[in-house]
Structure 1
Amino acid sequence: MDVNKVDSVKTLALVARELGRDEEWLFDIAAEMEPEDGLIWVFGPDDDGGAMAFTPDGIECLINLIAEQS
């Protein structure tokens, strides 16, 4: 999926809940990812560090990284 044609993303918290994984552990795993892998940062007016979010391809990439860790 072309990153410029993404119409929705899921936050790290939502992906962690859907995968039944610890959010902090997933954050550490996802730290290896780049925007080309489907990882983006979402910022709002009160966000100091932003929220990690994933495109559908990013979720697939994250699942593959999880499999490599197991």
Structure 2
Amino acid sequence: MHVNKVHAVFTIARVAKDLGEDEDWLLDVANGMDPEDGVVWIYGIGDDSVMAFTDFGIENLMEFIRIHKEDPELLRR
């Protein structure tokens, strides 16, 4: 039996605040991440949804941030 070892996730707003990054820019950067990278979508009532990250996802996101800051043109492609 598979046991999920994720005990908490952090919303993109929380991660943006903690990392001192703009939330909209961070959403663009994280848009290329997959569930295997530690990103999940949390769905509420109706169309309400928010991107969230596991601890592993935050680590991966920090690497994505570094890559995008080194080459800002990546988001324009």
TM over 0.5: yes
What is the count of residue pairs matched by the alignment? 66
Unaligned runs of 5+ in 1: none
Percent identity (aligned): 50
Measured on the aligned residues, the alpha-carbon RMSD in Å equals: 1.0
Quick one: higher RCO (CA 8 Å, sep 6+), 1 or 2?
1
Unaligned runs of 5+ in 2: 70-77
Find the counterpart in structure 1 of residue 57 from structure 2: 58
Runs of 4+ in 1 over 6 A off after TM superposition: none
* TM-score normalised by L of structure 1: 0.89
2:56 alignment partner AA: D
How far 1:57 sits from its partner (Å)?
A: 0.3
* Higher gyration radius (CA): 2
How far 1:45 sits from its partner (Å)?
A: 1.6
